[in-house]
Amino acid sequence: MRFAWVLPTVAALLAAGMVPVLADTVTVTIDKLAFSPKEVSVKAGDTVEWVNKDAFAHTATVKGGWEVMIPPKKTASRVMQAGDTVEYFCRFHPNMKGRITVTP
């Protein structure tokens, strides 16, 4: 009976509409000077993680907004906020482009 409190607590949270939402991580791979997939959809609070398989650095840059530096053979991430629907590109390789759609 150590966990007898769990069921009533969960029931109370459900009844109050206060169920915690678990955030997801969406992975974008960078390989051979390309983001894959080019377009992703996430919810506010989810994380976008870029995995750089190339031997040189890239960025996920939003003109007039944020930038994520992605070192060679490393990963980098950003937690997306409501209103973050963006087109992004690599500052070093402007032909590399992607899109993130954020829903509430």
**pLDDT attached to residue 1:** 55
The domain of 31 spans 22-103
- Vertex 68 angle, CA 31 and 97, to 5°: 50
Domain count, the chain: 1
Neighbours of 96 (CB within 10 A): 19
Considering the domain boundaries, does residue 17 fall inside one? no
**pLDDT attached to residue 28:** 98
Distances in Å between the Cα of 72 and the Cα atoms of 69, 86, 87 are 10, 23, 22
Residue spans of the chain under pLDDT 70 = 1-7, 9-21
**CATH code: domain of residue 95:** 2.60.40.420
Token readout for 23 is 């955030």
pLDDT in tens, 45-73: 999 999 999 999 999 999 999 999 999 99
Considering the domain boundaries, does residue 5 fall inside one? no
Model's pTM, two decimal places? 0.79
Report the Cα–Cα distance between both ends of the chain, in Å, rounded.
39
**pLDDT attached to residue 6:** 55
**pLDDT attached to residue 98:** 98
